A = this chain, B = another copy of it.
Amino acid sequence: MKAWLIEQLQRLNMSEALVRPEGFTRQGYTTEETNAITVFRAIAEELGLASVEDAAGNIIARWEVPGGENAAVATGSHLDTVPNGGAFDGGAGIVCSLGAVKLLKQASFEPQRPIEVICFRSEESSRFGVSTIGSKAMSGLFDPTIGSLKDQHGTTLAEAVASQGFDWENLSKAKRPKEQLQSFVELHIEQGLHIVEHQKNYGVVKSIACPIRLTVTFNGKAGHTGTTPMDRRQDALTTAALFISFVQETALQLNDAYEKSLVATVSKLTSAPNSMNVIPHTVIAGVDIRSVDDLLKQKMAKAIRIEAERIEQTTGVSIAIDVLVDNPSVLLDPPLAEQLASDHETYSVHHMDSGAGHDVMNMAQVWPSGLLFIPCEDGLSHHPDESATAEDLVMGAELLARFLMEATTQ
């Protein structure tokens, strides 16, 4: 199983090396993502699964059970990456899901319900600033107004979708009736160090922190860098620097002051005109705030608003704050979490929260859903050094096989 899982991950990533200096760049609704999905369908077919593509480009690879119950039990993840990301974020969930099917087939298991491995489109928010587009469509959470969002090259989301053969106008048709699925479990690398620090083998997630995302625009005044006295400037970048430091310091303070953890990051920043001899007149920053404690997240956002008003007064640079995303945290299905955590003699479990969003948070709006974490090296993700051990991938396949077996035996 170990060799098979690694081989499939190599095929999906089209690289013998799973850790390499440039990482992997396979953004949502690109040919790179589509190519990986084509490999996924080939592997599913080799396992005897028939796969179909929905209107959003999600793939549902299905183990049909003609005489059994209708509602399927599903597992899955995604194959898109951030730019220069790793081979495991999304990929680990996909190969462990396929590995689980392989284990059940090898054991000649006969499910009483259909089993599905789902590969979702465009999970990462790095290209268009919105995440989990495929699973939103499948869960009926599709927002048609975001088709005009642009990537850094000016391509709109609707154009990107069309480039891969899908029609933005039809994306809502990917919505599945509730009765088609009984439950959904996603497996993902942890992207942190909680499992290892608690000396456990894997994690079962209770709730998922959804971000508040802000776009903050600083409007100052251009001027010649050589002739504009220091005390007569409205420099958008020095104002943004005060803001960035405030976000960092306040997030550290809130972590000290409250039990639940919070992270806040100024992750995007562009400065204009970005010329050596012109004072920056406009800075646009993206802020990502997360905590499973929604009140703590709101406290951070409120502190940012108050500070922005204060800085505006002292610097003369105007600051506008737009809310891109503000969703409450998602509580996953407690009975399913209990099932995923129970009766393990081989592997020990850590109950935890997830700081990152995943496709399962959309699926959980409709179907009882669960999330399994396997450890990843140094807690790293969204980084070329992102990796998980072959042993932990095997554990992942076994955990998912057990879930699928239990859920399709009743």
Q: Which A residues contact B (CB, under 8 angstroms)?
A: 82-85, 124-126, 129, 131, 152, 190-192, 209, 211, 213, 221-232, 235, 237-238, 240-242, 244-245, 248, 251-252, 255, 261-271, 273-281, 286, 288, 290, 354-357, 379-383
A152 contacts B274, C-beta separation under 8 Å: yes
* A184 to B244 Cα, complex, angstroms: 48
Q: A277 touches which one: B221, B225, B288 (CB < 8 A)?
A: B288
B277 contacts A125, C-beta separation under 8 Å: yes
CB-CB < 8 A to A213: which residues of B? 276
User: Which of A242, A263, A278, A288 counts the most chain B CB atoms within 10 A?
Assistant: A278
Q: Which 5 A-B pairs have the closest CB atoms?
A: A126-B275, A226-B356, A241-B244, A191-B227, A226-B355
Q: A230 touches which one: B263, B274, B276, B280 (CB < 8 A)?
A: B263
Q: A131 touches which one: B255, B266, B277, B288 (CB < 8 A)?
A: B277
Question: Can you pick out 10 interface pairs between chain A and chain B where the beta carbons lie within 8 Å of each other?
Answer: A126-B276, A211-B277, A224-B382, A226-B288, A226-B290, A226-B357, A230-B263, A238-B266, A241-B241, A277-B382
CB-CB < 8 A to A275: which residues of B? 82-83, 124-126, 267-268, 382
Closest CB-CB distance, A143 to chain B, in whole Å? 16
* A244 to B237 Cα, complex, angstroms: 8
Closest CB-CB distance, A389 to chain B, in whole Å? 18
CB-CB < 8 A to A190: which residues of B? 227
* A75 to B229 Cα, complex, angstroms: 28
Closest CB-CB distance, A400 to chain B, in whole Å? 21
This chain's copy number in the assembly: 2
A245 contacts B241, C-beta separation under 8 Å: yes
Chain A interface helix/strand/loop/mixed: loop
Closest CB-CB distance, A286 to chain B, in whole Å? 5
* A263 to B231 Cα, complex, angstroms: 10
A263 contacts B229, C-beta separation under 8 Å: yes
Name which residue of chain B comes closest to A275, CB basis: B126
Given contacts A230-B252, A235-B248, 11 further A-B contacts (CB under 8 A): A82-B275, A84-B273, A191-B228, A211-B277, A221-B383, A223-B380, A225-B267, A227-B263, A228-B263, A241-B266, A281-B383
CB-CB < 8 A to A223: which residues of B? 380-383
CB-CB < 8 A to A290: which residues of B? 225-226
* A274 to B262 Cα, complex, angstroms: 21
Q: A228 touches which one: B83, B248, B268, B379 (CB < 8 A)?
A: B379
Name which residue of chain B comes closest to A324, CB basis: B276
CB-CB < 8 A to A357: which residues of B? 226
* A226 to B289 Cα, complex, angstroms: 8
Q: A245-B245, A268-B271 are in contact. Are A226 and B238 (CB under 8 A)?
A: no
Q: A209 touches which one: B131, B226, B266, B279 (CB < 8 A)?
A: B226
